[in-house]
Amino acid sequence: MTQPTIQPTPVYGIGDTTYQAAGGLEGITRLVDAFYNYMDTLPEARRIREMHVEDLNPSRQKLTYFLSGWMGGPKLYAKHFGSISIPVAHSHLPIGMEDKDAWLLCMEKALADQGYEPAFQKYIIDKLSIPAESIRLMCEFKAKNQDQ
Ligand code: HEM
């Protein structure tokens, strides 16, 4: 009787495993391009698209550089732009639950387009949901306290 093949569970988040699974800088660049293309075209993303300036290229570059370091690869954002706190960098924006969901929807669709393993797509969305939620909380806190 043949033994069933046990597929090893991929491990992400150790060293540069996430960066490698994303395809390095080229893969992240493609992912971020797809992400901003969805933001530019999906009706659900209209509000968050309007929070950006007309030219999305600086945002494409900044998110690509940020994700490189965030995924365990070269810390390109820090190298080119210095240190960043993701919630603080968004705290001037009116980001609520629907905006957070729209951002994650664009990312979910962009990840699916890359042909990544489903487990990897889920890993990235789960991990990005954490800073996305911190952003929402920070923005809603700021908006509430400005009203008073
Ligand atoms: C929660 C939903 C989010 C929305 C609506 C959003 C929206 C935006 C907008 C409008 C900008 C441009 C800011 C400006 O021009 O002043 C921006 C910048 C940026 N976002 Fe987000 N964002 C979200 C989540 C995230 C997440 C989860 C990350 C990464 C973990 C991220 C990373 C960045 C980076 C690195 C920049 C450039 C910051 C800078 O250099 O000033 N964003 N975002």
Residues 77 and 55: their CA atoms lie apart, in Å, by 19
Task: Tell me: pLDDT of 19 over 70.
Answer: yes
Q: Is the pLDDT of residue 126 over 80?
A: yes
- For residues 48 and 112, give the distance between their C-alpha atoms in angstroms, rounded to a whole number: 21
> 42, 66, 90: which to mutate for ligand 1, most atoms within 8 A of CB?
90
- Ligand 1 pocket, residue 37 CB under 6 Å: no
The amino acid that residue 9 corresponds to is: T
Residue 121, C-beta contacts closer than 8 angstroms, at least 6 positions apart = 108, 111, 112
The CA 81 to ligand 1 mean position distance, Å, reads 14
DSSP 44: G
The one-character DSSP state at 75 is -
Cα(90) to ligand 1 centroid in Å equals 6
Q: Return mean pLDDT, the chain.
A: 95
Measured between alpha carbons, how far is 145 from 148 in angstroms, rounded to an integer? 5
Structure tokens at 33: 């391009």
Tokens, residue 92 = 């001037």
Q: In this structure, what token pair is assigned to residue 132?
A: 């996305």
Q: Where are the beta strands (DSSP E) in the chain?
A: none
List, in order of start, the domains of the chain with CATH numbers.
17-147 (1.10.490.10)
**What are the structure tokens assigned to 116, written together?**
């990544």
pLDDT in tens, 46-64: 999 999 999 999 999 999 9
Q: What is the pLDDT of residues 60-99, one digit of tens each?
A: 999 999 999 999 999 999 999 999 999 999 999 999 999 9
Tokens of 137: 């909380």
Q: How far is the C-alpha of 94 from the C-alpha of 136, rounded, in Å?
A: 9
Side chain identity at 47, as an amino acid letter? R
For residue 62, give Cα distances in angstroms to 59, 87, 98. Answer: 5, 15, 23
**Residue 2: is its pLDDT beyond 90?**
no
Q: Give the mean model confidence (pLDDT) for residues 110-122.
A: 97
* Sign of the dihedral defined by the CA atoms of residues 47, 53, 59, 60, in that order: positive
Question: Does 147 have pLDDT greater than 80?
Answer: no
